[in-house]
Structure formats: structure tokens, C-alpha cells
Structure 1
Amino acid sequence: MLKVLLLILVCLTLFGLSARMFQRGLRQTATERVIARLTQGQPQLLVQKSSWVGLERAFLRAGLGRPTERLGVWLLLWALGIVIGFALGGWPGLLVLLAVPPLLLRLYVGWRYQRRLKRMIEQLPQLLDHTVRSLKSGRTLADAVLGGIDAAEDPLKNAMSRVQRNVQLGVSLPDAASDFAELYEQEEFRLFALGLKVNHRYGGNASELLENLIKMIRERDQAARQLSAMTGETRVTAIVLAGLPISLAGYFLLSNPQYLLAMWHDGSGQIMLATAFGLQVVGCLALWRMLRSL
């Protein structure tokens, strides 16, 4: 009876949530949607004293927008998932749905950020090369950099539009580049911002500085590729170690499903399965951290 009541409560909650979202969508005008898009990612939004600044920073770096706009909806869905897990699987189901969604979200955001950052680093020499050609044609450094951003491709163009917005708001180009570099915490961007700051303060040949930076980025990329080739065997070993317990569990479910189902319906068996799942998660995290250090 308790499970039936919990499912009815979940259904009513989801129906009320969908009705509220539909009503909110009807009330939101086209002008409000356009203003929201134009103000998204403004620099002053990141310095707000909020407990969600770290979450917004991670989502912004991954190119996922601001999560706080939909945070209430996602928390409500997570809570409903926890209730459903408790209703269907008892305490083990509750613990799984309590721990797995944040872990998966953290892994997805980190993977999305690393993939986006890698692509941005690959595109940066092209932007700098365009900037050097613009400088040699007689344009100023600021105009050359902004022109290079306009000529770049996504995701670098989308990410460095933050620099353009800061400059349009009156921030100097070196400070805007430093803000961008600190957001993404990458040495190539920090060196680019440092070069702009040094040139702005002391002068000098900006085109030669940027050419040296292009050469350095390409040499670092070549070294990273060589390291990846040398550590390929280590990565494959880590993947095999992480996937072996999961593969064995899948084999048992296919060949003898009663073996694990009998454990699932027993109290001590549930504890053993939950412990095995927790150890598997810890082991995967340890292997992932070890691979990141390569």
C-alpha cells in the first residue's frame, strides 16, 4: 500500500510540475527570451556571492549554460527518483539513486569540459595566426585579437565571446583575457593573457610574441600526443580492470540470473551487492585519477 501511495504522489507531483512549466512557458514573452540569451554569460554574473558559484563555473566552462535557472526542477526530479528507488528497491535503491546521479553529473561535466578545452587549444593557434596577420597589415592589437575571435570557430569563438563582451563593457583587453584565462585555468590561455598584459604595459613587437606563443602551443601539443602514445598500454589496462567486474556481473545475469537475484532478495546479499558496487565506484574513481595524472 505504501508503494502505491508513493507512486500516486510521484505522478501528481510530476503532473503539477508539467502544468507549472507549461504555464510559465506561456507567460514568458519572446522579448524576455531574447534578453535572457543576450545577458547569458555576462561577467558580473560570475562574481555574485552565491553558494552555487562553483556549479555555475563548472557548467559555464563545459558550455552547458547556467544551471541555477533549472536547478529547482532538477532537484525535484532527483528527489522523486530517490522516492521511486526507495519504493522499488528499498534502502539499497535509495542509496544508489542518492549517490549515482551526482557522480554521473560530475563525470559528464568534467568529460565535457576536457573535450571542449582540448578543442579550444587546437583552435587557438589559428586565432593567433589570424591576429598576427592582422597586426602585420597595420591593425591595432585589440582590433586584431577581436577580429581573430570573430574569424574563429566554435567552441573557441563561443568561449572567447566573453572577452568581446568585457571589452565592449569597457574592460581593457589584457584584463578581459586574464579573466578568460582564470575561468578556464589553462596555461596556454594564461600565457596569451600575460603576453597581452606585457605588451600593453611595456610595448614591444606583439606579432613576434604571438608567433612564439603559436610555436610553443604546437610543441606542447606534439609532446602531449607522444605521451599519449607511450601511455596507451596503461590506459587500456585501466579500462580492462574497470570493466572486468561489470562484465562478470553481466555474465552471471545472463548465464545464471537466479544467482544474483537470490542475493538481491536476501538482506545480507543486498549488503554484499551494495558493498561491491561501492568498491567498484571507488576503484573506477581511483583509476580515473591515476589516468588523469599521466
Structure 2
Amino acid sequence: MIPALLLYTITVLMFSLSIALVYRALHDPTTSRVLDRLGESQPQLAEKIQSMAWLDRAFLQAGLGRPSEHLSLWLSLWAAAIMLAGLFGGWVFSLAFVVLPPVLLKLFVSWRYQRRVRRMVEQLPQLLDHCVRSLKAGRTLADAVLHAINSSTDPLKSSISRVSRNVQLGVSLADAVQDFAELYERDEFRMFALGLKVNHRYGGNASELLENLIVLIRERDQGARKLKAMTGETRITALVLALLPLLVGGYFMLTNPTYLINMWNDSGGQHMLLTAFAMQTIGSLGLWRMVRSV
């Protein structure tokens, strides 16, 4: 048994090292520095964002940096955790370490993105109002937007500062804001980009356009708040249904811990618990999707 475990350990380590070597070969730092220097003078349009890896894109949306810079290290740690879980806890714990980390990471990144972009949308009317005051003071539209970006606060400032960088690299203001809107995938940002593009192509009163956009964004926010208040009972019901089995299991562990332990040691009880866990996971995901669609 021990030689087989050692062979399994060596195999997992060699596989992790091979992945790390391949990743380093594909992402050589010298080549990356040369490409970065060559790309400094090129505008960063939406096509570049679309060609980014989905993992980097998700982390960039959540404001967490680029995980691909240390991907080999994280994959090695994950493989080591799976191996240790298999050695000490058996195949069930090994399977849990295979499935749970990606799921939890996805949930955390999605939660962080939703919270961050919600705050950015709340700050957008203030930025547009600053643009309107600058336009009425005699600034051009591009100067008004860039000055409003510099005067804004985080998290909107750190996110929309990519617009200032792209404009400095030679991209038009409308294309730079369109690139920002496509990255964060919110209708409010897309409307802002569309308004700038229409004004850039056909002209018109920019201050009046931005004032109407401010009113529209605030009305959308008020409607979303009313809908959230009206569907509060549904969301609470879904939360209770999702947490009830977990609370019951925790109650059993506190009052009679040997009950679940004996069930786990029995083969039939083990299958029953695994089936219940799978059904609980599927039901929670179904309730989550239903609540998001409300």
C-alpha cells in the first residue's frame, strides 16, 4: 500500500512540474517584457479585451489583478492539496478538493464583481454630473470626462482610469469608454459609451445628453430597488430552503455526533449522505438561478 501511495505522490508532483514548465515556456518573462514594450504605443481597444483569458478577465472585473502571473504556483498548491486529501482522507476528500476550490473561487469572484460594479454604477451619476458642470464651465467633452475621472473615487476611479490611459495612447474617447463598458458588461456603462459615440459622430448638446443619462440611470436604480423590495419575501424563502438542511445537519452534529459518524462509516449510509449532499448542491444552485432571474 505504501509503495503505491509513494508512486502516486511522485506521479502527481511530476505532472505538476510538467504543467509549470509548459506554462513558463509559453509565458517567458523576456518575451513578455518585449511584447509589453512594443504594445506601449498601441491603443488598447475592445478586441484586446475579448482576446484575454477568461480567468484574467473575471479577476480584472473583480479588481483582483491577473492570476495568470502566478498560475503555475496556484496549480501546484492545488495539486498538492488534492494529493494530501487523498492520502489522509480517501477518495471522497480528494474529490472534494477537486470540486470545491474552483466552485468557491467562482462564487467569490462573482460576488466581488457584483458588489464592485454595483458601487461603480452608484458613483456614475456623480461622475456625469461633474462632466456637465465642466462642460458648462467651457471645457471640451473629452477634457470634462477626463477631469471627472481624475476627481472620482474608488472603485470607479481605479476601473475607469483605463479610459484615461487609452485616450493618452491615441484612442478616441468614445472607443475608450466603449472598451470600458464591454469589460464590465453593464447597461449603464454601455449607454454612457453610446451617448459619447452619438455625440462624437453627429454632434449635439453634450451637457443635455449627459443630464438625460443621469436621470435615466437614477430611474433605473430606483426601479431596481423597488423590485428588490417587492421580491424580498421570495429571496428570504429561497435562503431558508437552502440553509435548512445544513442547519439540521449541524444540529445533529452538536446534539448526537455519533449518529452521522456511524452513518458515514456504513457503506449504505455513506451513499445516502453523498446523495443528499449532491441533491442539496443541485437544489441550492437551482434556487440561486431562480432568485437571480427575479
| Same fold, judged at TM 0.5 (above) | yes
Q: Which structure 1 residue ranges, 5 or more long, are not aligned?
A: 18-27
Compared with structure 1, are the counterparts of its residues 111 and 3 closer, same or farther at alpha carbon in structure 2 (3 Å cutoff)? farther
Tell me whether 1:155 sits opposite 2:159 in the alignment.
Answer: no
Superposed, which structure 2 residues align to 1:89-168 within 5 Å? 89-168=89-168
* One-letter amino acid of the structure 1 residue matched with residue 165 of structure 2: R
Match of 2:270 in 1: 270
Tell me whether 1:206 sits opposite 2:206 in the alignment.
Answer: yes
* Alpha-carbon distance, 1:270 to partner: 2.2
Question: TM-score normalised to the size of structure 2?
Answer: 0.85
Match of 2:22 in 1: none
Cα deviation digits, residues 181-212 of structure 1 (max 9, x gap) = 11111110000000000111110000000000
Compared with structure 1, are the counterparts of its residues 221 and 252 closer, same or farther at alpha carbon in structure 2 (3 Å cutoff)? same
Match of 1:185 in 2: 185
Compared with structure 1, are the counterparts of its residues 198 and 189 closer, same or farther at alpha carbon in structure 2 (3 Å cutoff)? same
Query: CA–CA distance in 2 between the matches of 1:5 and 1:206?
Result: 70
Query: CA–CA distance in 2 between the matches of 1:49 and 1:58?
Result: 12
* One-letter amino acid of the structure 1 residue matched with residue 225 of structure 2: R
Cα deviation digits, residues 85-139 of structure 1 (max 9, x gap) = 2122212111111111111011001000000010000000000000000000000
> Contact 2:45/2:176 (CA < 8 Å) preserved in 1?
no
Match of 1:195 in 2: 195
Cα deviation digits, residues 236-266 of structure 1 (max 9, x gap) = 1011000000001101111111111112222
* One-letter amino acid of the structure 2 residue matched with residue 224 of structure 1: A
Match of 1:22 in 2: none
Match of 2:247 in 1: 247
Moved over 4 A (4+): 3-6
Query: CA–CA distance in 2 between the matches of 1:146 and 1:77?
Result: 43
> Contact 1:121/1:188 (CA < 8 Å) preserved in 2?
yes
> Contact 1:62/1:112 (CA < 8 Å) preserved in 2?
yes
Compared with structure 1, are the counterparts of its residues 259 and 4 closer, same or farther at alpha carbon in structure 2 (3 Å cutoff)? farther
Matched residues, number: 274
* Alpha-carbon distance, 1:282 to partner: 1.1
Query: CA–CA distance in 2 between the matches of 1:291 and 1:45?
Result: 31
* One-letter amino acid of the structure 2 residue matched with residue 293 of structure 1: S
Query: CA–CA distance in 2 between the matches of 1:126 and 1:3?
Result: 66
Question: TM-score normalised to the size of structure 1?
Answer: 0.85
Q: Which structure 2 residue ranges, 5 or more long, are not aligned?
A: 18-28
* Alpha-carbon distance, 1:4 to partner: 12
* Alpha-carbon distance, 1:276 to partner: 1.4
Match of 2:234 in 1: 234
Higher deviation after alignment, 117-126 or 278-287:
278-287
* Alpha-carbon distance, 1:280 to partner: 1.2
* Alpha-carbon distance, 1:5 to partner: 6.5
Compared with structure 1, are the counterparts of its residues 43 and 105 closer, same or farther at alpha carbon in structure 2 (3 Å cutoff)? farther
* One-letter amino acid of the structure 2 residue matched with residue 174 of structure 1: A
Query: CA–CA distance in 1 between the matches of 2:49 and 2:214?
Result: 35
- Give the superposed CA RMSD: 3.0
> Contact 2:46/2:179 (CA < 8 Å) preserved in 1?
no
Tell me whether 1:87 sits opposite 2:87 in the alignment.
Answer: yes
Query: CA–CA distance in 2 between the matches of 1:148 and 1:49?
Result: 27
